[in-house]
């Protein structure tokens, strides 16, 4: 299956294996934003609900990590 040239520019970028925690978090934030944009653009309509749930859960996880790093307890 051929990849469309226009979609290649919108795919998330990987920075390698040796990431710091901060770099990993920023990469995950960028990937979440990319996924959200793809969902909003109508890609993968058959997976929309599952992908939207995944995006929300990733957002919640990233919020918890941010709170933990700031020294604030997370709400359960």
Task: Quick: pLDDT tens for 61-74.
Answer: 999 998 888 886 65
pTM: 0.67
10 found inside a domain: no
50 found inside a domain: yes
What domain range is 38 assigned to?
21-76
13 found inside a domain: no
- The domain tally of the chain equals 1
61 found inside a domain: yes
The values of phi and psi at residue 13, to 5°, are: -100, 140
pLDDT confidence tier of residue 41, bands split at 50, 70 and 90: very high
15 found inside a domain: no
């Amino acid at each position: 299956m051929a990849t469309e040239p226009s979609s290649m520019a919108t795919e998330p970028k990987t920075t390698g294996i040796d990431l710091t925690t901060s770099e990993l978090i920023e990469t995950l934030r960028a990937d979440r934003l990319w996924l959200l944009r793809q969902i909003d653009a109508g890609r993968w309509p058959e997976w929309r609900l599952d992908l939207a749930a995944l995006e929300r859960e990733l957002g919640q996880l990233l919020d918890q990590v941010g709170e933990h790093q700031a020294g604030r307890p997370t709400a359960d």
